[in-house]
Amino acid sequence: MLFQKSLLTATLLAAAVSANAAGTANGSFKVNLKIDSVCSAEVTNDANGVNFGTVLAGTSEATVGIKSSATAVVVKCSKNAPYIVNLTPLSNAGANTTGAGTMAGPGTDTINYQLYSNAGATTVWGNTGTLAVVGNGVSGTGTGLLAIPNTHTVYSKLTSTTDIQLGNYSDTVKVSVTY
């Protein structure tokens, strides 16, 4: 009989414990994600760049006029991401922040030029732009990576005479996008 009482007591205790275990406890946690901006820049038709064509020696820079680039700087950035496009002529990269360049040619002769961001060649395009201060860079806002990108045309004009040696003159311009 003692054994049956102990068994009965153990069964009742087990039932009481399992009856108390039938509850629900709740908690929560967050799911987070931070999206950083991303940008890409492409220079289309970069082999042609700004081409002043063929001019006769001694032609004044005013006669040559303003040339638009066959090249476009195409920028694709995350939606609403601010960016700045800076241009640096490599001939004057160390000391130049104004977009003024020098095309080297035969011997020691050179031809100077200036980069602009507008067709009237009144707004200099250089490399002082930051996200905080546009400077002489060109600013933009991303339209999204799957949207149509922003296209920026480069304009240039000669700032020195062509009364120099015959031959080809050229320079390279570095394009930087800060975002």
CA within 13 Å, CB half, 139:
12
**pLDDT tens sequence across 122-171:** 999 999 999 999 999 999 999 999 999 999 999 998 888 788 889 999 99
CA atoms within 13 A on the CB side of 124: 17
**Global confidence as pTM:** 0.78
CATH class of 53-178: mainly beta
pLDDT of residue 143: 96
- Phi/psi zone of residue 53: left (φ > 0), alpha (ψ -120 to 50 degrees), beta? left
Residue 2: the pLDDT is 52
* The pLDDT of residue 68: 72
Predicted confidence band of residue 10 (pLDDT cuts 50, 70, 90): low
> What is the per-residue pLDDT for 85?
97
Q: Do the beta carbons of residue 55 and residue 64 sit within 8 Å?
A: yes
Give per-residue pLDDT as tens, 60-107. Answer: 777 887 777 667 899 999 999 999 999 999 987 666 689 999 999 998
Confidence at residue 52, expressed as pLDDT on a 0 to 100 scale? 83
DSSP state string for 37-71: P-EEEEEETTTT-S------TT--HHHH-EEEEEE
CB atoms within 10 A of CB 152: 20
Q: Which residues contact 176 (CB under 8 A, 6 or more apart)?
A: 85, 86, 87, 88, 127
Mean pLDDT of the chain: 85
